[in-house]
């Protein structure tokens, strides 16, 4: 079983959406976590736009990256530039991947970013886990 950590600054939207899609597309072949360098709580608009696409984030929590220091990950994915710069050091076995998505600030932008993250997540799972 592969392990994946998705990092963002606030762990409120982009990393939460990526976690939701990666879990969905992995279909039990990976344990997926998300965290932030400065967690702010899960954004209700992220929950809303993901629900529109059949992914439930309502039970997700916004966690600090320190919660996972010392845990072994196969992949650490940063989804914003700030998180990449502040990302703690994980064991050398973790492959670090960076894909920056814009920080959404309106319902429309949340939907656009959601769609970008969905496509990235689908491609990632197809390339790394299939």
| Residues forming the active site | 8, 80, 87
β-sheet bridge partners, residue 98: 78
Report how far apart, in Å, the C-alpha atoms of 5 and of each of 13, 34, 65, 109, 114 are.
15, 5, 9, 24, 18
- Checking 46-49 for CB contacts under 8 A at 24+ apart, the result is 46/12, 46/13, 46/16, 46/17, 46/104, 46/110, 46/114, 48/107, 48/110, 49/17, 49/107, 49/110, 49/111, 49/114
């Amino acid at each position: 079983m592969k392990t994946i950590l998705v990092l963002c600054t606030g762990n409120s939207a982009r990393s939460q959406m990526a976690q939701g899609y990666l879990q969905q597309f992995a279909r039990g072949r990976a344990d997926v976590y998300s965290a932030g360098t400065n967690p702010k709580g899960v954004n209700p608009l992220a929950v809303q736009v993901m629900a529109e696409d059949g992914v439930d984030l309502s039970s997700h929590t916004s966690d600090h990256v320190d919660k996972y220091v010392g845990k072994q990950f196969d992949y650490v994915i940063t989804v914003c530039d700030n998180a990449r710069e502040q990302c703690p050091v994980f064991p050398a076995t973790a492959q670090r991947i960076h894909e920056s998505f814009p920080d959404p600030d309106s319902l429309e932008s949340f939907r656009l970013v959601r769609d970008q993250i969905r496509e990235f997540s689908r491609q990632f799972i197809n390339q790394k886990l299939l």
